[in-house]
Amino acid sequence: MSPRPGFVLDVDRSTPPTLFWHGERFSLERLPEGSRVIYAPEPIDPLKDPSVAIRAALNSPVGDTEPLPALLRPGMKLTIAFDDISLPLPPMERPDNRQMVIEQVLDMAADAGVDDVALIVALALHRRMTEAELRHAIGDRIYDAFAPNGLLTQHDAEDPEALVHLGQTDQGEDVEINRRAAESDLLIYVNINLVTMDGGHKSVATGLASYRSLRHHHNPQTMQKSRSFMDQHRSELHTSNWRMGQLIADRGVKVFQIETTLNNDTFPPSFQFLQKREWEWGAKDRLGYLAASKALDRTPTRYARQIFHSVKAPHRMTSVQAGEVEAVHKLTTDNVWAQQGVPVVGQTDILTMGLPYISPYNVNSILNPILVACLGLGYLFNMYRGKPLVREGGVLIMTHPTPWEFNPVHHPSYIDFFEQVLSETTDPIEVADRFEESYATDPWYIHLYRTGHAYHGVHPFYMWYWCAHALQHLGGVIIVGGDQDAVHRLGFRAASTLSDGLEMARDVVGPSPTLTHLHAPPILMADVQ
Amino acid sequence: MTRVRQALAGKQFFITGSTGFLGTALVERVLRSVPDSRVVLLIRPGRRATAMQRATREILKNDCFDRLRQQCGDRFDTEVASRVSAVAGDVATDGLGLDDDGLQKLSESDVVVHSAAAVSFDSPLDSAVEVNLLGPSRVAAAVVTATQRAANQGRVGPVHFIPVSTAYVAGTHQGEAREELLGGSRFSIEVDWRTEVDAARRQRGDTDAESRRPERLAQFSKDARGELGGAGLHLLAERAERLREDWVKKQMVRVGQARAQSLGWPDAYPYTKALGERALVSQFGDTVPMTIVRPSIIESALAEPRPGWIRGFRMAEPIIVSYARGLLREFPGVPEGVTDVIPVDLVVAAIIAVAGEALLDTGEAYRGPSVYHVASGVRNPFRYGRLVELVQSWFTEHPLYDSDGQPIVVPAWSFPGRGRVQRQLSRASKAMDLAEKVVGSLPIRGRQAAWMAALEEQHLLADRALGYVELYGAYTETEARYRVDRLMALWDRMDADDREVFCLDPAAVDWDSYVRDIHLPSIIEHARVRTAPGKSHQPTRSERSRRAILSPDRHLASFDLENTLIASNVVDSYAWLASRHLPATERAAFVADLLREAPALLVLDRRDRGDFLRSFYRRYEGAPADRLRDDGWELFHHLLLAKSFPAGFARVRQHRALGHRTILITGALDLVVEPMRPLFDDIVCAHLGEVDGKFTGRLEELPPIGEARALLLADYAEAEGLQLEESMAYADSASDLPMLEAVGFPVAVNPEAKLAAIARRRGWHVEHWHKADGGAQPVLPLGPVDRRGSLGRGRTSAAALSGAARRTAAGPSR
């Protein structure tokens, strides 16, 4: 039986309660009759033999490029860059796509007698990965072969020696990227294209860039003009990255792009009910839900978080394509749409969503209030093509505990951003004008980013800019079950129950609103007509 | 012009005690109400101020002079300059310590008013004796000298001497006290004042000797250590010496009280005042024309210079405020008893009227010393029960508010006997003493410790309340009635105009309105208590002190590390580093060993931090230096940063942004603090010796802890041209006291109990910083299990290696 496509359910009297994520917990909520619930398509069938598919892709690339073996020769300088800890979500069960692809690339390089090979984690201004995380992503064999010799490095956007300025685009945008990558005879980029925002020219132009380069598209003006940033063709973020990618190619940097996609099989068997439609829950699902929610109710949040972050997703590779960046990325995007796209007719007054425990920036960490905002208003709000799911002036209701908690190792500048910046203003443009530079150039944050596992000082600003489009579009944001002080600091309103939240929303959108619930994860993209 | 003002116009007053409550009012009134008069003030010069500077600062700037200032307008300063002069001197010194100029000024004066006194009811016996007993005679002796000098210069010299005494010299016995000299009255007991003086002086010597006995000194040292912990030799010695001095003082107060009570006075004040009167009259009664003025309890002004004017907190005020705050639940007293209170302006008027009459040339010969009472008990009695009623109803209508903005409900007094109240209070005090000792021995810090300091404050307040009851209880039970026949006769002799200007009739006071509309509003204004509900919009004390700390004018901020910036210690760091490369099989044994040793380590650390560090660091002997240096980076990013106080790090950075120099001074090892180098301008820490790439386990120099820290900080500041008075020090424990005391702005961070108490007493700024809640919080400070399977142990991990590589690049870029 082939997997069923995504589905929009109209809630009626017989509809069972709907599952809402609430951070490290979840609940069943009864939505008003007439509400809509959008479900993701079922996981599509994975590749039968990924290694065969990978070899085929490397040998018959798309776009104007020769097969990979033909590009490899002895004495050449080869660099392999790959996506960092932010992908995929949750981290996938071993073997990871990156491991599978890089192992074959290295085999080919060895066959061709290439001995100057370096691996770089393309983490831009993200935190450096730990040894355990790297081992998980690329496997012990590669790790042990490269790391001890210093041939596996993590991109350092603050090391002037390790960067090279390639020039400016016709829009005056600086392009400054990793020197080793830029000066290699061949740069191979290995990605996991979890959502449509990822990949393409953004891989190199963002993943291997410096703050000097990133600030041209990571800013509130660009994000307000990206509608959405998940839709490459209507995204100023991508337009800028494509200009930069063009310049990188023009400067003679030869990029061989390898992109992979995953199906949305997000949770292991014991948590299967999380990705099933409620009215189809069987006895096992009901039991699973009961057991999980009762057990979680009795587990301190700290341990519940540890349990969830140890969950590995049973994602399977659904496609792999290699070759010239733009040609590769077109295929990739189509494959992502095939798994995630759900046609939806018309906008809604109120959009509800349950926020889970994880976002790209808190793997093995905590979803702090800024990341809560970014997950809801940045990522999930932008999961659309055409028009936003919620109408202009509508209300977004999210459920999440939103504790006033931060990880001091991963997010030190977030703590200060929350205390010092958001206490003054929540307007993204004012935030950028008044505070960005001092955080971006702060020597202590730079020190922690370079030597520890801290996100760069400027990163919380980017999280806030990610919300810029939604902040401009929405008439109100309500967090159900959120810590009042933290929610108010974000500039939102806190409600204790979903029905209270709906009451508050009616004050904004009128007495008989339409309501749509985004049933994610698993991730889905709404194609709104 | 009327009789009094006529008699005094153009005259010069010599006034002692002018910085006091009565003295200030007297100076103001003379200047304002006696035309062309001049005043000479006897003032003890301060350490940094001359007599005149003190007069300007402490007398003329007082709001007492607001009315005069308003009347004079621009002329105030010239007016004052031409009419007020100050001479340096001290009534506790023979000859008053007057220089030639001072003596000349005294000889040119017409009236001498002696209002200087040790009014505190708990003065040490010997100082009360010097001031109250010998003071009046010393002034009289100076008057005699001055008169001779005037005679030599062909002038008259001082015509009249008015010593101010107290109505209570007659004791608090039941019955009526007349306005007559002591000795003749039935109240007095004959004791020779000279014997009393000798005994008091000898007592000081004996008590001092007693305080220096080895057992006593040992006890003081022990108490100092109990209070400050391991604060270092110097501070402990300083504290022990202070405790000794306090002990001597307390003994002298006790001795004074006991002696006074044995002779029938409630305490040393009336006892020394009474003997002072006797000494004065017996020596100078015939030679110096004098009139003794004896007021009862002087309280805020009825009308002059303005209703409610008061200076300083006197006898009734602290009791009333304690009551309004709900601290004093009972106070003994007899409701039918008379509380003999007299507004200050009535006393001043009486003194001036007495002076006026003395200077009036009535043709009558001087018939020896006489006495005036200025008291209300007979003419206009004010019942204690009524006073309590008025106070209670006033505070019910105008409650004070606690720190949460909630009104404080005042208790109803039930007029219990003094013994019962005393027993209740001392029981409460003892219970709190015990609680404090128990809590003080627990290793608590931060908010619990602040709570502990609050307990200590409650204890202090209970003790103070007990003190009030012991001291003042007798006065509320006074059943003596001080007659004012002579005062009223004086009043009768005054003409209408004088009466208008110098009202001294106690009947003028309407007690209900005096208490409700004048006295209570005035003392509440002075008491700096909360009189409005709700959260205050004024910056709190803590906000103000934080603002002072974060002023750009400051110079240097020094920081302690453990529990000040990071909730961790040298043992944690060691455990993490030592377990970093330990096979999983050996970890359990390692943990068990360390846990077993923990209590002993804690004890050693408490006893002497230096010894503890030296002995503990031996454990590093033989450790590979390079590998530990690399591991130090991992330790910081995995453990220390997770246990850090983000607000503390933010504060360091804030100081740097303000242009302050920042320095970390810690006993932790260099390899542990190295990753924090970019946070500070400078770091001073401990260094281990190294031979052939291995640590020796011995420190290269003394660790920067305790007093060494204060010295180091002082040297650093001097070398950098920074001032410690303009600097901050952040620390968490009493053992950091030397560093905290060295600077102008000490900050106690999450203070442990002893430091919390000290910080609270001294008004130091306190910060409560906590760990970020979202970090990993390992139960045990152990390094991650080493997973380098195929490569074997002993080689540096890739993460640490790249960390080290990055460090080289990042090192100089702070």
Average pLDDT, integer, range B428-445: 65
For residue range B381-428, what is the model confidence (pLDDT) as tens digits?
A: 888 888 888 888 888 888 877 767 777 777 777 666 666 666 766 776
Of A201, A211, A206, residue with least CA distance to A242: A201
Average pLDDT, integer, range B206-211: 91
List helix spans (H) across B503-583. Answer: 511-513, 520-526, 541-549, 570-579
Question: Chain B: residue nearest A160 by CA?
Answer: B809
Q: Are B363 and B41 in contact (CB under 8 A)?
A: no
d(CA B110, CA B160): 7
* CB atoms closer than 10 angstroms to residue B403: 9
Cβ-nearest to A447 among B678, B787, B797: B678
For residue range A55-71, what is the model confidence (pLDDT) as tens digits?
A: 999 999 999 999 999 99
Give the residues across from A152 on adjacent strands: A119
Q: Quick check: A408 and B774 CB within 8 A?
A: yes
Mutate to test the interface with B, among A366, A451, A455 (most CBs of B within 10 A): A451
Residues on chain A touching B771 (C-beta within 8 angstroms): 408
Instruction: Map out the domains of chain A with their CATH numbers.
Output: 7-43+340-528 (3.90.226.30)
Q: Are A223 and A466 in contact (CB under 8 A)?
A: yes
Tell whether B810 is within 8 A of chain A (Cβ).
yes
CA distance A156 to chain B (A): 9
Same topology between domain B1-187+271-296+340-378+483-504 and domain B546-776: yes
Which of A171-185, B65-79, B785-799 comes out lowest in average pLDDT? B785-799
Q: Are B689 and B699 in contact (CB under 8 A)?
A: yes
Angle between helices B268-284 and B135-152 (to 10 degrees): 30
Segments making up each domain of chain B, as ranges: 1-187+271-296+340-378+483-504, 192-262, 314-332+383-475+506-536, 546-776
Residue type, B752: E
- With 0-12 CB in 10 A as exposed, 13-18 as middle and 19+ as buried, what is B729? buried
Burial code (b: 16+ CB inside 10 Å, e: under 16) for B284-314 equals bbeebbbbbbbbbbbbbbbebbbbbbbbeeb
Supply the pLDDT for residue B54: 86
Cβ-nearest to A444 among B653, B772, B798: B653
Residue B460 makes CB contacts below 8 A (sequence gap 6+) with none
Of B303, B302, B305, residue with least CA distance to B70: B305
Confidence class of residue B814 from pLDDT cuts 50, 70 and 90?
very low
Of 3.90.1640.10, 3.40.50.720, 2.60.40.10, 3.30.360.10, the CATH number of B1-187+271-296+340-378+483-504 is: 3.40.50.720
For residue range B132-164, what is the model confidence (pLDDT) as tens digits?
A: 899 899 999 999 998 998 889 888 888 889 999
Which of B104-118, B162-176, B179-193, B610-624 comes out lowest in average pLDDT? B179-193
Mean pLDDT of chain B, nearest integer: 82
d(CA B546, CA B559): 16
* CB atoms closer than 10 angstroms to residue B27: 27
Question: Chain A: residue nearest B639 by CA?
Answer: A409
- B422 three-state secondary structure: helix
Average pLDDT, integer, range A85-108: 96
* CB atoms closer than 10 angstroms to residue A324: 16
Supply the pLDDT for residue B810: 35
Q: Quick check: B772 and A443 CB within 8 A?
A: no
Q: Are B319 and B387 in contact (CB under 8 A)?
A: no
Q: Quick check: A412 and B649 CB within 8 A?
A: yes
d(CA A134, CA A85): 8
Residue B791 has pLDDT above 70, yes or no: no
Supply the pLDDT for residue B591: 80
Q: What is the DSSP letter of B69?
A: H
Question: Chain B: residue nearest A148 by CA?
Answer: B798
Average pLDDT, integer, range B263-290: 87
φ/ψ region of A320 (left if φ > 0, alpha if ψ in -120 to 50, else beta) reads beta
d(CA B494, CA A503): 82
Average pLDDT, integer, range B695-711: 87
Average pLDDT, integer, range B121-135: 85
Supply the pLDDT for residue B426: 72
CATH architecture of structural domain B546-776: 3-Layer(aba) Sandwich (3.40)
Burial code (b: 16+ CB inside 10 Å, e: under 16) for A359-395 equals bbbbbbbbbbbbbbbbbbbbbbbbbbbbbbbbbeebb
Supply the pLDDT for residue A25: 92
